[in-house]
Chains A and B, each alone.
Chain A
Amino acid sequence: MKKVDKKIVAFLCNWCSYAGADLAGVSRFQYPPHLRIIRVPCSGRVDPLFIFTALKSADGVLVSGCHPGDCHYTSGNLVARRKFALVKGLLEFIGIEDGRVQFDWISAAEGNKFAQTAAKVASEVDNLPQWDRWGEK
């Protein structure tokens, strides 16, 4: 049987994680092809609605921004941090698997960490049961 690759939407902040992904690329670090990257100005821009909507057509979501203290806008990721903590709790509460939606901080210098994270998230999503895309599939 042909294995169908699962899709993961990755919201990456322009200043750190997106540059980290870029570095992973130019450094030729390999990672699985699951990720569909969406560049956002800041992890603070990631409305929970984006995450919920992404799950309508993808099997997983990764959100990544700058490390606390490194935000290009000083505190965007710190405000987002509280929001994400609630989102994670909410999704778990309604019975969505822990690995389905994941969060991390990855800096522009961490190309290697980006590749490792992408691989880890991809393998976790692969091992989860088939996602029902909010009951529409």
Chain B
Amino acid sequence: MIVLEKIKEKAKELLAENKVEVVLGFTRGTLPGKCTPYFARKVDEVENFVWEEGCNHNLANYLTKLSQKAAIIVKGCDSRSIINLIKENQITREQVYIIGGTCPSTGECPDCQHQEAVIADYKISEGEGAIEDSFQDVLEFEKLSPEARKEYFYKEASKCIRCYACRNACPACYCKECFVEENLPSWVGKTTGIGDNIIFHLTRAMHVAGRCIDCGACVRACPMGVNLSLLNRKMLKDVQEMFKNVSGLSLDTELALNEYKQDDSQKFLIGGE
């Protein structure tokens, strides 16, 4: 409770002193257990904020659309997304005031390693430090036969209705025009045929590879229950193993796919190495 009081106090202060024009946070939703993003612009609107189970959408997503100076109440994943957005020049550090806390809604994210905000102007709570990710789910899946893996993936992809909720809920998907919408030429078919769905999902996973921070916003947004985290986490694991890179932890390091080293692995070549 005390955490929420601190959030409100800070938000009121920022708004009252005109340091920011809007504070992004959560308010209670209309269904049990659900919270919904909330934009407080007046001091008395701050009272509507909550900080509890269900506050799990990635709020960093809204920063690229806001032109005003904003404060944002973040948990671990939101803060990591903000770091990536700053690094990719989508927002500036000055434009956003970060109120950082420890995630109040960890129930749905068994693999979360950074529940606590990694960047903040004002820190409201201290949580446990980072936890090592064992990638147990990915390792388990890799143990299956190639046929079983293919069958599983095809089945997941065939569920997709191409509503693009995964893309739109993702802070890393900020392209003004997404490859699925371009039609001159049309890069990917607009149908929900299995082929188009597979191409969409593979390309999506590649586009966010090295930038995805595994916040799970896409998984929660998907109405059809497609297991999107499987591909995301495979990319995460490979990036970590091959390039020794975990994105969204520091403003000083490059994103994995924006840099290279002379001795990067060439195992993927014919003949390998």
The 8 Å CB contact of B153, one of A68, A95, A104, is A95
Residue interface mask A94-137, B partner, CB < 8 A = 1: 11110000111100000000000100110000000000011110
Most buried by A among B260, B267, B268: B268
B194 touches A136 (CB 8 A): yes
Contacts of A135 in B (CB 8 A): 154, 158, 194-195, 198
In the bound complex, CA of A105 to CA of B269 (Å): 8
In the bound complex, CA of A117 to CA of B141 (Å): 32
A134-B194, A136-B193 known; A85+B268 contact, CB < 8 A: yes
A85 touches B242 (CB 8 A): yes
Interface size for A (C-beta < 8 A) is 37
Contacts of B16 in A (CB 8 A): none
A86-B209, A86-B238, A94-B150 known; A103+B270 contact, CB < 8 A: yes
Contacts of A23 in B (CB 8 A): none
B227 CB to closest chain A CB (Å) equals: 12
B149 touches A95 (CB 8 A): yes
Q: Which residue of B lies closest to A50 (CB)?
A: B187
A75-B260, A95-B150 known; A49+B203 contact, CB < 8 A: yes
Contacts of B262 in A (CB 8 A): 68, 78
B159 within 8 A of A: no
Q: Which residue of B lies closest to A104 (CB)?
A: B270
Contacts of B174 in A (CB 8 A): none
The 8 Å CB contact of A53, one of B141, B187, B239, is B187
B153 touches A94 (CB 8 A): yes
Contacts of A40 in B (CB 8 A): none
Contacts of B265 in A (CB 8 A): 85
B231 within 8 A of A: yes
The 8 Å CB contact of A102, one of B194, B210, B270, is B270
A49-B187, A81-B264, A85-B242 known; A56+B153 contact, CB < 8 A: no
- Where the two chains meet, the residues of B that have a C-beta atom closer than 8 Å to any C-beta of A are 141-142, 145-151, 153-154, 158, 179, 187-188, 193-195, 198-199, 202-203, 205-206, 209-210, 231, 234-235, 238-239, 242-243, 256-258, 260, 262, 264-270
Could you jot down 24 A-B contacts, CB within 8 Å?
A49-B179, A52-B198, A52-B203, A53-B188, A78-B262, A82-B243, A83-B257, A85-B266, A85-B267, A86-B206, A87-B268, A88-B268, A90-B206, A90-B231, A90-B234, A93-B141, A94-B149, A94-B202, A95-B145, A95-B149, A97-B146, A103-B268, A121-B270, A136-B194
